[in-house]
Amino acid sequence: MVVTEPNKVMVAGDWHGNPYWAEQAIKYAKRSGADMIVHVGDYGFWTPSERTYAYLLGSNQLLEELDMRLIWVDGNHEDHSQLDECNIPGGKPTVFGDLDRIMHLPRGFRWEWWGMTWMALGGAHSVDRSWRREGHDWWPGEVLSGEQVEYASRPGGVDVIVAHDAPRGFAIPGIGSGNEFPSEDLLAAESHRGLVREVVDATKPSLFFHGHYHVNYRARLEREGGTTEIFGLDRDNSTIARNTMFLTREDLGQMVSSR
């Protein structure tokens, strides 16, 4: 399945299935001239229910009305029982049912936009896992597997990674100690950042976009062979400006050349 090349992209942080926020963000994207939304996970692909379907269908109808599309990588807070098969290494983008304007990108999937190679890298560890129930609001498939890391790290350069988690190797601003969460989950979350770093070290992207931490920031990651510019995005119920950012071919070229 081809990921249609856009004229202008809005990258969006976590929406958590918030229908009001999704509507406002999609309309904001259209007003700003974007024809494609790239969502970095915790999009709201939750357990099958009237509420979940109403959220997804409402977003799809609005995207159709505005002649836009949305592609997304999975966050930790999605129903991974429906996504595990999609995320098998080598998997292709998936449109679910009649949601023809919304497409999930599997972990390690690569595509070409604006003369650059992009890659999807969903997944993260839930530090609040201990308070969730497996099969109800938590699934083991939320984290990257060894096979997925290996597949995402395959030969061939990558210019841009769209992920949910951030790579290890720098401090995310505004993140507290996390003492309210179990220590084993904090360690597991840091370990997962290590897996993301393995992929970054192998593919050497110039740009990396992610969500998960609900912080809007920019940082520079020093790695072997160069640097990667990291962009984090805030969540729903923050501000639209902190939850989103825009990209064009020219923007991307300038970001890469200025490194």
Domain that holds residue 196: 8-257
Residue 1 falls inside a structural domain: no
d(CA 141, CA 196): 15
Residue identified by tokens 């995402």 is 152
- This prediction has a pTM of 0.96
238 and 174 in contact (C-beta within 8 Å)? no
Residue 3 falls inside a structural domain: no
pLDDT value at position 174? 74
* Torsion 38-40-46-51 (CA) sign: negative
Any residues with CB less than 8 A from the CB of 55 and at least 6 apart, and which?
17, 18, 19, 22, 44
The per-residue pLDDT string of the chain (259 residues; one tens digit each, 9 = 90 and over) reads 568 899 999 999 999 999 999 999 999 999 999 999 999 999 999 999 999 999 999 999 999 999 999 999 999 999 999 999 999 999 999 999 999 999 999 999 999 999 999 999 999 998 877 778 887 777 889 999 999 999 999 999 899 999 999 999 999 987 766 667 668 878 889 999 999 999 999 999 999 999 999 999 999 999 999 999 999 999 999 999 999 999 999 988 888 766 5
CATH number of the domain at 114, please. Answer: 3.60.21.10
- The residues pairing with 160 across neighbouring beta strands, listed in sequence order, are 118, 207
d(CA 170, CA 52): 35
Overall number of domains in the chain: 1
Question: What is the separation, in whole angstroms, between the first and last Cα of the chain?
Answer: 32
Residue 105 falls inside a structural domain: yes
174 and 165 in contact (C-beta within 8 Å)? no
d(CA 213, CA 156): 29
Residue identified by tokens 């990209």 is 247
